[in-house]
Structure 1
């Protein structure tokens, strides 16, 4: 259980560093996949729109 908690803290630390240095440029691939199921749009267009209009931690 301790190893799981340690992995989570490292993951959160990495996410925070990414948000500090690349805010607005991070695209969540899980959102792209959810939207792609109902849209007939290329993935790179969805990623561009998500990057433009969605915050990195929304």
Structure 2
């Protein structure tokens, strides 16, 4: 599964990629709600929204 791949990346990248926890959690939402999001195309606006939120937090 995709989330397992992300988990492996977390171990390698966690100190370098500050958004990995937030993205992992959002992807879990996707995997756990496949009826609501049958395709990744249905879900990707949620990731865009997440990146906007994280960007605003980063700005302070």
TM range (shorter): 0.3 to 0.5
The structure with the largest alpha-carbon Rg is: 1
Greater RCO structure (CA 8 Å; 6+ sep): 1
Going by fraction, where is helix more abundant, 1 or 2?
A: 2
